[in-house]
Amino acid sequence: MIKVSVGDIKLGEDERKLINEIVDSNRLSEGPLTREFERLWAEFIGTKFCVAVNSGTSALIAGLYALLYDDRFPKVKKGSKVITSPVTYIATSSAIALAGMEPVFVDIDPMTFTLKVDQVEALLESGNPDEYSMILPVHLMGYVNDMDEINRISKKYDLVVFEDSAQAHGSLYKGKKAGTMSLLSDYSFYIAHNIQVGEMGAVVTSDKKIRDNIKKIKANGRYCACPVCTRSKGICPYQNDDFDPRFTHEFLGFNFKINEFQAAIGIPQVKRIKDIIASRQQNVEYLNQQLDGLKHVLQLPLFSKDVSYLAYPLVIKDKLLERQPIMRELESKGLETRPLFGCIPAHQPAFKYLKQQYEGKLPNADYVGSSGFYIGCHQYLKKEDLDYIVVLLKTVFK
Ligand SMILES: Cc1ncc(COP(=O)(O)O)c(C=O)c1O
């Protein structure tokens, strides 16, 4: 039986060479390869800075704390409200809540899973905008939100914008990369993402203070934020002070540091990212052509050369069929599937305290979250894998 995974990774010669260099150097903690990964990712995305952290979740938390610790953003404070998407991997909402803020959900467009910007504006108009500090749009499955509108609304109400680009490695909006249209943005390099290294994340920004704060927060709030520590060379800016900045802590922070192996696995992939994105796009285009006849029962993904696809999302139309038995059947025939996350207040036990408040208010999120699932479209799939997907879906949905 053919097995089609949601994501796959193959470590080639380049990755192995870098891994061996680490083994020979005896340095496992963050070092030159981590700095090189950060340089390459910032260059690819088009921001001044990138800070690597140990997961996309950590990237969100570190980013939110960097804003909390920055007095340029007085509205960003514990208890403030953050407008975000109800259909996303739970980390987006958890990070907001764990940083002491309140996630506030508006409905999504069912085709692109992006925030309905008219609802964002209506929410701010109808409530007290001073209670809100931020809009945190999620570019789910690679589809970028309407960032012009989000930025217009955020300007009108003096809100910070923080893009969650965990699933949009290199997606474009009007020629601009996801992650460059706001103050800061997070990425995840978990399994199935265009760049995947097992576990890792990053924050990008062009704001030096945010970059410095994230460097500090990821290292238990330590005082220093130099790109490379110069203390052993005797040229640390604090060398002659009577404290050691590495062990003096300006903020409460976390340990979100990575190790060199993660960077080593990521670097060669970033160098190949254009090919990775292109081959995923070709796979999506091919599957869409072949599955056109299923459109009466399945919502196929919108195809665009601007989208860097995380996966191939499908939504069962009009609740014609139950999602779970279908996913079970596909899995039993070798096609790996994942649910399209669910609508957070309606379906996630961790946020059940919000269920009643949102009852009936997020119809699209409820529909996509309960009837959507995704399968792989990654660069390692061969034509025979794609054809197997087509035959299987046609059989199951006949
Ligand atoms: C939209 C979104 N945000 C945040 C995360 C969290 O990333 P991680 O799993 O690396 O912690 C993910 C993970 O896939 C995600 O999809």
Q: What is the pLDDT of residues 248-295, one digit of tens each?
A: 999 999 999 999 999 999 999 999 999 999 999 999 999 999 999 999
DSSP secondary structure, 329-379, as one string? HHHHTTB--EE----HHHH-GGGGGGHHHHTTT-HHHHHHHHHEEEE---T
Indicate if 281 and 259 belong to the same structural domain. Answer: no
Q: What is the pLDDT of residues 194-215, one digit of tens each?
A: 999 999 999 999 999 999 999 9
Say if 1 falls within a structural domain. Answer: no
CATH number at residue 321: 3.90.1150.10
Cβ(263)–Cβ(51) below 8 Å: no
Q: What is the pLDDT of residues 16-43, one digit of tens each?
A: 999 999 999 989 999 999 999 999 999 9
Indicate if 235 and 380 belong to the same structural domain. Answer: no
The protein residue with its alpha carbon nearest to ligand 1, atom 7, reads 56
Q: Is the CB of 351 under 6 A from ligand 1?
A: no
pLDDT band at 398 (very low <50, low <70, confident <90, very high): confident
The atom of ligand 1 lying closest to the CA of 201 is: 10
pLDDT band at 47 (very low <50, low <70, confident <90, very high): very high
Residue 64 tokens read as 């939110």
Q: Is the CB of 88 under 6 A from ligand 1?
A: yes
Question: Among 238, 271, 304, where does a domain finish?
Answer: 271
Say if 2 falls within a structural domain. Answer: no
Q: How many domains does the chain have?
A: 2
Which residue among 57, 162, 169 has the greatest number of ligand 1 atoms within 8 angstroms of its CB, and so is best to mutate?
57
Say if 373 falls within a structural domain. Answer: yes
Indicate if 105 and 211 belong to the same structural domain. Answer: yes
Say if 41 falls within a structural domain. Answer: yes
Per-residue b/e over 58-94, b at no fewer than 16 CB within 10 Å? bbbbbbbbbbbbbeebebbeeebbbbbbbbbbbbbbb
Nearest by Cα to 279 from 234, 312, 245: 312
Q: Which whole number is the average pLDDT over 378-395? A: 98
Say if 157 falls within a structural domain. Answer: yes
Question: Among 271, 286, 315, where does a domain finish?
Answer: 271
Indicate if 156 and 229 belong to the same structural domain. Answer: yes
Give the pLDDT of residue 91.
98
Indicate if 167 and 238 belong to the same structural domain. Answer: yes
Say if 194 falls within a structural domain. Answer: yes
Say if 316 falls within a structural domain. Answer: yes
Nearest by Cα to 110 from 319, 351, 346, 301: 301
Q: Is the CB of 179 under 6 A from ligand 1?
A: no
Indicate if 205 and 328 belong to the same structural domain. Answer: no
Indicate if 215 and 277 belong to the same structural domain. Answer: no
Q: Is the CB of 341 under 6 A from ligand 1?
A: no
Indicate if 18 and 144 belong to the same structural domain. Answer: yes
Q: How far is the CA of 397 from the centre of ligand 1 (A)?
A: 30
pTM for the full predicted model:
0.97
Q: What is the pLDDT of residues 108-147, one digit of tens each?
A: 999 999 999 999 999 999 999 999 999 999 999 999 999 9
The atom of ligand 1 lying closest to the CA of 138 is: 1
Q: Is the CB of 55 under 6 A from ligand 1?
A: yes
Q: Is the CB of 164 under 6 A from ligand 1?
A: yes
Q: How far is the CA of 92 from the centre of ligand 1 (A)?
A: 7
Residue 293 tokens read as 């006849």
Indicate if 327 and 353 belong to the same structural domain. Answer: yes
Domain with 142, as residue range(s), is: 13-271
Which residue among 188, 256, 262 has the greatest number of ligand 1 atoms within 8 angstroms of its CB, and so is best to mutate?
188
State the residue for tokens 């960003």: 76
Give the pLDDT of residue 227.
87
Say if 321 falls within a structural domain. Answer: yes
Indicate if 250 and 380 belong to the same structural domain. Answer: no
Q: What is the pLDDT of residues 136-171, one digit of tens each?
A: 999 999 999 999 999 999 999 999 999 999 999 999
Q: Is the CB of 62 under 6 A from ligand 1?
A: no
Indicate if 260 and 300 belong to the same structural domain. Answer: no
Indicate if 249 and 310 belong to the same structural domain. Answer: no
